């Protein structure tokens, strides 16, 4: 009987002042590995959403081009999609934003025009957001609103800015901002279809 009592009483006791010894070395390794897997999964989902937005945008443009009415179908020349690029803007407290830029040549020999598509998740429902074009003119900045949109009840937002020309060498940037108070939500520095364009959180200066 004494032996049984000794065996039973030899287990861990969690009385007053006792501490849980922790998961141990192998447990911490498993936790770290799980954290890495979850982080990679989150990145994969984010990239998949970005690619999905870009592919959806290009597919819709192709469909619009195919379905555009033509007065002389036999001789009509359809616009051509020259290139496309997707940007993920730095996350803010007012949602996650991505921009898809598509270069379209209306007809052979004409200049390429830029279409911009802004997508957002977790924006403020019912809030209006705008896309701004800014260009450096010496020490001054000239600005113009390209398009705007209103976030739906789920915080999803789409802004479409079609057919505008930006010189590949222009000192320009585009910026998403909240219309009510002008709060900047990030943008792209440099022509969106040009090489070397980068994203920013706060608007650059000339």
Say if 184 falls within a structural domain. yes
Q: DSSP letter for 92, please.
A: B
Say if 161 falls within a structural domain. yes
pLDDT band, very low/low/confident/very high, at 66 (cuts 50, 70, 90): low
Say if 85 falls within a structural domain. yes
Say if 23 falls within a structural domain. no
Share of the chain above pLDDT 90, in %: 28
Question: Picking from 45-59, 76-90, 92-106, which range would have the lowest pLDDT averaged per residue?
Answer: 45-59
pLDDT band, very low/low/confident/very high, at 60 (cuts 50, 70, 90): low
CA 42 to chain centre: 14
Q: pLDDT at position 80, please?
A: 85
Bigger pLDDT: 42 or 152?
152
Say if 21 falls within a structural domain. no
Q: DSSP letter for 176, please.
A: E
Say if 125 falls within a structural domain. yes
**CATH label of the domain that carries residue 118:** 2.60.40
Instruction: Write out the two tokens for 43.
Output: 């990145």
If 0-12 CB within 10 Å is exposed, 13-18 middle and 19+ buried, where does residue 100 land? Answer: buried
Q: pLDDT at position 123, please?
A: 93
Bigger pLDDT: 122 or 7?
122
In the block, tokens 């070395």 appear at 25
**14 pLDDT higher than 80:** no
**6 pLDDT higher than 50:** no
In the predicted model, what is the mean pLDDT of residues 21-48? 46
Say if 179 falls within a structural domain. yes
Q: What is the mean pLDDT of the chain?
A: 74
Q: pLDDT at position 35, please?
A: 47
Domain that holds residue 131: 78-200
Q: What is the CA radius of gyration of the chain?
A: 27
Number of domains in the chain: 1
Say if 104 falls within a structural domain. yes
pLDDT in tens, 170-204: 678 899 999 999 999 999 998 888 778 899 988 77
């Amino acid at each position: 009987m004494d032996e049984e009592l000794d065996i039973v009483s030899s287990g861990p006791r969690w009385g007053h002042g006792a501490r849980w010894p922790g998961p141990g070395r192998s447990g911490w390794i498993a936790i770290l590995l799980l954290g890495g897997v979850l982080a990679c999964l989150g990145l994969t989902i984010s990239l998949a959403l970005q690619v999905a937005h870009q592919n959806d945008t290009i597919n819709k443009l192709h469909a619009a081009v195919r379905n555009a009415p033509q007065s002389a179908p036999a001789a009509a020349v359809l616009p051509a999609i020259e290139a496309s690029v997707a940007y993920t803007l730095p996350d803010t407290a007012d949602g996650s934003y991505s921009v898809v830029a598509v270069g379209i040549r209306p007809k052979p020999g004409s200049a390429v025009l830029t279409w911009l598509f802004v997508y957002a998740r977790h924006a403020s429902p019912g809030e209006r957001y705008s896309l701004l074009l800014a260009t450096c003119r010496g020490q001054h900045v000239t600005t113009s609103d390209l398009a705007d949109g209103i976030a739906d009840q789920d915080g999803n937002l789409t802004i479409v800015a079609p057919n505008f020309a930006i010189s590949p060498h222009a000192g320009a940037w585009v910026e998403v901002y909240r219309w009510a108070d002008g709060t900047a939500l990030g943008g792209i520095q440099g022509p969106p279809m040009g090489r070397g364009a980068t994203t920013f959180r706060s608007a650059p200066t000339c």
